């Protein structure tokens, strides 16, 4: 057996997000996070003020994900 391609360890983490007021905000945050390279999945829950993000830590860092949220106009 030969390893052709190896994927890094995938991490799933929850981020607190402040400033979301409606479903539009929720969608904006989800779009901003999913645009970050290395993010494979994101679920934003407005009621919980929280995003669950699945990402590859070899391709992105949590700080980059938080920065994307801030750039979209919210607090992470
Ligand atoms: Cu909104």
Q: How far apart are CA 38 and CA 49, in angstroms?
A: 22
Domain carrying residue 43:
11-71
- Predicted confidence at residue 6, as pLDDT, reads 67
Residue 6 lies in a domain: no
- Predicted confidence at residue 9, as pLDDT, reads 85
Residue 62 pLDDT class (50, 70, 90 cuts): very high
- Predicted confidence at residue 76, as pLDDT, reads 94
Residue 76 lies in a domain: no
Residue 4 lies in a domain: no
In DSSP terms, 14 is beta-bridged to 52
25 Cα distance to chain centroid: 14
Express each pLDDT in 7-57 by its tens digit: 678 999 999 999 999 999 999 999 999 999 999 999 999 999 999 999 999
Q: What is the DSSP string of 4-60?
A: ---PPPPEEEEEE-B---SHHHHHHHHHHHHTSTTEEEEEEEGGGTEEEEEE-TTT-
Separation of 27 CA from ligand 1 center, angstroms?
8
Separation of 29 CA from ligand 1 center, angstroms?
10
Separation of 46 CA from ligand 1 center, angstroms?
9
């Amino acid at each position: 057996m030969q390893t052709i391609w190896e994927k890094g360890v995938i991490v799933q983490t929850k981020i607190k997000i402040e400033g979301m007021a409606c479903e539009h905000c929720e969608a904006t945050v989800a779009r901003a996070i999913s645009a970050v390279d290395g993010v494979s999945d994101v679920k934003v829950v407005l009621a919980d003020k929280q995003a669950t993000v699945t990402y590859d830590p070899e391709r992105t860092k949590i700080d980059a994900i938080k920065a994307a949220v801030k750039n979209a106009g919210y607090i992470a």
